[in-house]
Structure formats: structure tokens, C-alpha cells
């Protein structure tokens, strides 16, 4: 089963129109096209007659959930891909948002985003939390996710060489950080000078420090949405490290972030029966 982007767009526009017309929300956050370039971009509308500007297609790569942090006290509707709903569930679990202020228009049976390698691995194609849904739900049995294991098959030396090559191209623009729903700290460790963690240069050493520390901060929190990789102007495989941690959390603890607004985060929950593999195992 495959959802039609035109049908999804029509349904989204209908929900947005009614919500704004009835005054149930102050704004709708969705996707639209930039006026001059035609590029798909986040769209914020506040009037019913603007709803026809909303679209949904294979280029809607941005994770919109992070914008909700800018409107915590407003009544907001959001067009949410399944990965967006997982981000929202995580925010609710961490008490960063108020559920009563949100109207979630979830995308059922998400067809995926062009160029996003995370979509190949995705096993969550329906929203985990929603008020309305656009499109037809897809049965998990219909999915055939594939996890690329080229890195797993490399030796440690080969993996090091791979990441040295990747991170040598990093210009430290922090687009990956800005796109990531987890990176919401008021001051990032990269901006701190007391203590001083990362140099301001784009030397390989500093690039490695940034990417390794950011990945560790995402352990048990990454939803493997691919927003970081899609945002990178250099095409660096920035998703590889947090995606690995995501798979480890699932394999060792049967844990996936953002599946329930009531769930605890992985590192705040404890069970005496949890496996405890050695750090270098």
C-alpha cells in the first residue's frame, strides 16, 4: 500500500482550514513552497485561507517538531510525520510541551523522504500520537526495512579511517545540531568556554570531539529520523553514530525513543535484570 501525496495534501489542508476557522488553534505548522525558489520549507499559517499553501510530498525533509519549543504557550497544530510524532512524544515525556496546547495532524503510512537514508531503516510509518490523521495506515508486516551493515563489517581500523575521511569534511556549521530535535540546550557544550570542550577550528581533532560528544548525548534519545544527515551541506554520514546507539538500545534493552509520551528515557530507567556488556565488548 502506498499513500498518494496529493491526497495527503488535500486532507492536511482540510484539517488546517477547519482548525483555524473554528479558532481551535492560533497557528498551523506544516510544509509549503518558498515563493521564489519553489523549495519546500517549513510554513507557519494563522488564517484559514492560507491553508491552501500547505503541501506534503517527498521533499518534506525537515523535522517540524522542534519548532513547537518556540510556541510552548500557544495553541498550535502541527503536520507531523511519524518521526515528528516520536519527537513530540519525547518532548511530552520530558515535560517540555503541554499536550492540551497541541493538535497533531499525523501522517499515516508515511511514504518516506527522498534522499533520507533513515527512511530505508524505518519501522514506524504511522504516528505514535495524533488527533487527526491523513492517509491510510500501513501494517508493520508490509514494511521491509533494511539496515546497512557495511560499517559493522569493517575492522576497527577501517571504521576509524572511514570516520576520519567523513569528519575531515566537516565545516562545523552545526546544521546537524540545529536540525536535531534532541539538541535544545540553551548553551551547547560546543559554545562553552567554562569548561572548554571544543576548539573553534575545523581541525579533525575538534571535529571528532564535536561529533562523538553529540552522539553520546543522544544515547537512548535519537529516533533515527535522519534530519541531521539531510541538513548537512557536506553530505557527511553524521547519522551513523547515533543510529548505531539507537540499534544498540533496541537490541540490548528493547527500547525505542519516542514511542509513548509516558515512557521514561533509557538512561533514567533502571532494571536489575538489564544486560551489562563491557564497554569494549
Kindly report which listed range (58-67, 102-111, 122-131, 148-157) carries the lowest average pLDDT score: 148-157
Residues 232 and 161 in one domain: yes
Residue 278, domain member (yes or no): no
Q: Note the pLDDT of residue 1.
A: 43
**How far apart, in whole angstroms, are the C-alpha atoms of residue 84 and residue 189?**
25
- Match 571544543 to its residue by C-alpha cell: 198
| Residues 120 and 25 reside in one and the same domain | yes
Q: Are residues 101 and 221 in the same domain?
A: no
Q: How far is CA 203 from CA 197, 206, 235, 238, in A?
A: 14, 5, 18, 17
Whether residue 113 is found in the same domain as residue 189: no
Q: Say if residue 22 is in the same domain as residue 116.
A: yes
Same domain, 260 and 162: yes
Residues 74 and 192 in one domain: no
What pLDDT digit, counting tens, does each position of 132-144 carry?
A: 999 999 887 677 6
**For residue 195, is it left (φ>0), alpha (ψ between -120 and 50) or beta?**
beta
Instruction: Say if residue 261 is in the same domain as residue 219.
Output: yes
Which H/E stretch holds residue 152?
helix 150-153
Give the separation between CA 73 and CA 80, rounded to whole angstroms: 19
pLDDT digits (tens, 9 = 90+) for 224-281: 999 999 999 999 999 999 998 888 888 888 899 999 999 888 887 777 777 777 654 5
Range of the domain at 127: 5-142
Which residues are bridge partners to 45 per DSSP?
Answer: 28
Model confidence pLDDT, tens digit, residues 11-70: 999 999 999 999 999 999 999 998 888 899 999 999 999 999 999 999 999 999 999 999
- Out of 142, 161, 180, pick the residue that ends a domain: 142
| Domain assignment of residue 183, yes or no | yes
Most confident of 52-61, 144-153, 200-209: 52-61
Asked, for residue 279, whether it belongs to a domain, the answer is: no
As a whole number of angstroms, the distance between CA 191 and CA 133 comes to 40
pLDDT tier for residue 2 given thresholds of 50, 70 and 90 = low
Residue 26 is assigned to a structural domain of this protein: yes
In a shared domain, residues 168 and 55: no
Amino acid at each position: 500500500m502506498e499513500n498518494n501525496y496529493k491526497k495527503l495534501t488535500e486532507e492536511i489542508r482540510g484539517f488546517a482550514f477547519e482548525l483555524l476557522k473554528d479558532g481551535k488553534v492560533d497557528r498551523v505548522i506544516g510544509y509549503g513552497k518558498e515563493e521564489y525558489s519553489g523549495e519546500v520549507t517549513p510554513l507557519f499559517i494563522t488564517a484559514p485561507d492560507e491553508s491552501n499553501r500547505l503541501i506534503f510530498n517527498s521533499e518534506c525533509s525537515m523535522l517540524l517538531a522542534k519548532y513547537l519549543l518556540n510556541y510552548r504557550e500557544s495553541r498550535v497544530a502541527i503536520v507531523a510525520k511519524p518521526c515528528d510524532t516520536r519527537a513530540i512524544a519525547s518532548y511530552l515525556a520530558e515535560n517540555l510541551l503541554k499536550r492540551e496546547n497541541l493538535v497533531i495532524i499525523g501522517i499515516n503510512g508515511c511514504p518516506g523522504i527522498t534522499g533520507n537514508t533513515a527512511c530505508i531503516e524505518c519501522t514506524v510509518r504511522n504516528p505514535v500520537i495524533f488527533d487527526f490523521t491523513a492517509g491510510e495506515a500501513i501494517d508493520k508486516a508490509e514494511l521491509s526495512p533494511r539496515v546497512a551493515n557495511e560499517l559493522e563489517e569493517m575492522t576497527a581500523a577501517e571504521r576509524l579511517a572511514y570516520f576520519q575521511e567523513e569528519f575531515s569534511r566537516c565545516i562545523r556549521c552545526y546544521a546537524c545540531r540545529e536540525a536535531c530535535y534532541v539538541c535544545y540546550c540553551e548553551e551547547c557544550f560546543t559554545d562553552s568556554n567554562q569548561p572548554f570542550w571544543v576548539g573553534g577550528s575545523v581541525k579533525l581533532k575538534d571535529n571528532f570531539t564535536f561529533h562523538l560528544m553529540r552522539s553520546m548525548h543522544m544515547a537512548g534519545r535519537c529516533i533515527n529520523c535522519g534530519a541531521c544527515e539531510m541538513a548537512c551541506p557536506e553530505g557527511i554520514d553524521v547519522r551513523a553514530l547515533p543510529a548505531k546507539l539507537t540499534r544498540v538500545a533496541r537490541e540490548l534493552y528493547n527500547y525505542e525513543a519516542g514511542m509513548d509520551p509516558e515512557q521514561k528515557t533509557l538512561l533514567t530507567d533502571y532494571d536489575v535484570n538489564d544486560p551489562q556488556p563491557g564497554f569494549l565488548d
